C-alpha cells in the first residue's frame, strides 16, 4: 500500500488484527474454562508461611519506606544519564559545553541529596 493513506490503512489493519486477536483470546477463554470453577477450602484466607493467620488483614506501612524507594528510583534513573555522556565525552565535537552541562546536572543531583540530608530524610531510626 502506497500513497498518502497507505500507511493509515496499514495501521488500521494492524489495529484490527490486534482487536481480533484480543476477542479471540477472550472467546477461547470463555469456551474452554470450567462452568463452575473449583473453590477449595481456605482459598481466600491469607497465607503466612503455612500457619493460620493471626489478627486482621490491615497493615500500615510507614511513609519513610516510600520516600526511600522514591529517592532510590529518582537517583538511579538520573545516574543512568551519566553513562551515555561518559561514552561520548572524548569525542572532538564535545568540549567545555558538555562538561558544563554535566556539571550543572551533577550539581542538581548534589542539591537533591543535600536537601534530603538536611531534612533528615536519610536517617534510619
Over residues 108-125, the mean pLDDT reads 82
Non-local CB neighbours of 14 within 8 Å, separated by 6+ positions: none
Length of the chain in residues, anyone? Answer: 125
Predicted pLDDT of residue 80: 84
CB 100 within 8 A of CB 109: no
Phi, psi of 101 (to 5 degrees): -65, -45
pLDDT, tens digit, 9 for 90 and up, residues 11-55? 899 999 999 999 999 999 999 988 877 777 767 776 666 666 666
Taking the C-alpha atoms of residue 17 and residue 9, their distance in angstroms, rounded to an integer, is: 12
Residue burial 21-60, b: 16+ Cβ < 10 Å; e: rest: eeeeeeeeeeeeeeeeeeeeeeeeeeeeeeeeeeeeeeee
Predicted pLDDT of residue 49: 67
Predicted pLDDT of residue 125: 66
pLDDT, tens digit, 9 for 90 and up, residues 43-100? 777 666 666 666 676 777 777 788 888 888 888 888 888 888 877 777 777 777 778 8
Entry pTM: 0.43
Q: Give the position of cell 546536572.
A: 105
Amino acid at each position: 500500500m502506497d500513497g498518502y493513506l497507505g500507511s493509515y490503512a496499514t495501521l488500521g489493519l494492524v489495529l484490527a488484527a490486534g482487536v481480533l486477536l484480543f476477542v479471540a483470546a477472550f472467546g477461547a477463554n470463555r469456551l474452554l474454562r470450567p462452568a463452575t470453577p473449583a473453590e477449595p477450602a481456605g482459598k481466600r484466607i491469607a497465607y503466612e508461611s503455612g500457619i493460620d493467620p493471626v489478627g486482621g488483614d490491615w497493615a500500615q506501612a510507614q511513609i519513610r519506606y516510600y520516600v526511600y524507594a522514591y529517592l532510590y528510583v529518582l537517583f538511579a534513573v538520573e545516574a543512568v544519564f551519566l553513562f551515555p555522556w561518559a561514552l561520548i565525552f572524548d569525542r572532538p565535537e564535545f568540549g567545555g559545553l558538555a562538561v558544563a552541562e554535566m556539571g550543572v546536572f551533577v550539581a542538581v543531583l548534589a542539591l537533591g541529596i543535600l536537601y534530603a540530608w538536611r531534612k533528615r530524610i536519610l536517617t534510619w531510626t
